Amino acid sequence: APAVFSVGSAPTPTRMPLLQLLNYIDGRPVASRSTARTEVVDPATGEAYASAPDSGEADVDAAMTAALAAFNSFKRTTPSQRQGFLLKIASAIEAHADELARLECKNCGKPFLLTLDEEIAAAVDQIRFFAGAARQLEGRAAGEYMEGLLSMIVREPVGVCAAVTPWNYPLMMAVWKWAPALAAGNTVVLKPSDTTPVSTLRMAELMGAILPSGVFNVVCGRRETGRLLVEHAVPSLVSITGSVRAGREVAASAAPLLKRVHLELGGKAPVVVFADADLETAAADIAVAAYFNAGQDCTAATRVVVEAAAYETMVALLAREAEQNTKLGSATTMDSEGVLVGPLNSRAQLERVKGFFDRLPPHARVVAGGRPAGGRGFFFEPSVVAGLRQEDEMVQEEIFGPVITVQPFADEAAAVAMANGVQYGLASSVWTSDHARALRCCRAFDFGTVWVNTHIPLVAEMPHGGFKQSGGGKDLSAYGFEEYTRVKHVMSKL
């Protein structure tokens, strides 16, 4: 077993021994100084299989001390040296792709083949992008803006970066944070979600064989551990992907020391479908974009808004996709080809999604799914809910489950108003055969990403990030890279 895992607790008649997870600090696995632990559960079976530290102040301080010491030398590395580190890490992850996909699937309940193809491969590509970006970081050209004085712009790493990652894409979201940070010359202390630390720890171990000690550190724990990370005096930047609530808490904790914050928070993506769209193709594509990762995606295509003339047709098409064309996994079939929908992250998340259905208003109608799948694990049926109004909870709040809501609109102005009529501003899409209309919607939608006749594809070269309550700052792309730098003006007398 990797050094970050060890078999600790004795087996019982009802379960196997739990893997005992360790933090990763200063280039090696380290036992937590806290005696508190959290159980890690396989969502596909509902059974605990690992135990992680619930790290305290001493653990966080040790990680920050290591990261700060490493920063003093790592910030002096050249772009080509940092590129070399990232390229070697990408190759190491690629060589261990099956292993990391297995760990990610057991930790998150994801379908294996999809995870291998859509997440591990994408993470490797994103690391290689930032490896290239390390050698492309530029300031503005030097110039003599005052006679006899030469000015130039220098971009520098910000320092130690504290990162908090979510449970829906643990490995990939960690990459989105550490890859640009390291490419720019920063060091990192990262806290994964308490329910999904396993793949991040194994990745840290692979990285530790390549990076100088202390450059990348992982501290496990719950919300209090995250607060300790954010409030610690050392980090200059705090980056989180999580809920709006978590983002507000991080911003408040970072405020006393005026730390920079990078917030990628929730979403409630509108999927605006006009009657002139190819409805059958749209329904099929929307279902995949809604049910991928069991709908546990901030950009998921789960809020469909359809022109009234096509409304009932689209409701029927989406119901057919949910009931006939979307393959729901089970505790024993998550490795099977064609499985799209796995379990929800935890029993608490299953109960949360179920609660939305328990509270449905009388005017809403469930046309597909609407209930837990039963059996082992935290599976919920792919669902479609029609008849909702703009003010309803399912329309306004992020469900984070395999649930599509469908609303009708009268005209283009109403479609835009309904699309923008939520607190979130992360992602959106418009479906139409009218190019001018598509461009008008792109201009009018108050979202960081607008897709046209597609939904959810991401590429490393383009930025990902939102407006309003979806946070601030960009991931991926050169814009995401610049988030982890600071600008210095140097003026020299000639």
308 DSSP β-pair partners: none
Rounded Cα distance, 302 and 96, in Å = 33
153's tokens: 């712009």
| Annotated catalytic residue, options 249, 298, 412, 441 | 298
For the chain, give the number of residues. 494
| Annotated catalytic residue, options 104, 231, 264, 483 | 264
Examine the residue annotation and report whether 99 is marked as an active-site residue of this protein. no
Rounded Cα distance, 474 and 483, in Å = 7
317 DSSP β-pair partners: none
> What distances in angstroms separate CA 446 from CA 124, 412, 440, 443, 469, one per listed residue?
31, 15, 12, 8, 11
E-assigned strand segments in 165-231: 187-191, 216-218
Rounded Cα distance, 444 and 434, in Å = 15
Examine the residue annotation and report whether 105 is marked as an active-site residue of this protein. no
For residue 27, give the 3-state DSSP assignment. Answer: coil
Q: Any idea of the CA torsion for 273, 278, 284, 285, to the nearest 10 degrees?
A: -70
C-alpha closest to that of 241 among 481, 446, 472, 458: 472
> Cα dihedral sign for 348, 351, 172, 184?
negative
Kindly report the number of other CB atoms within 10 A of residue 436's CB atom: 8
Rounded Cα distance, 296 and 344, in Å = 8
Q: Give the residue numbers annotated as catalytic, written as ranges.
A: 264, 298
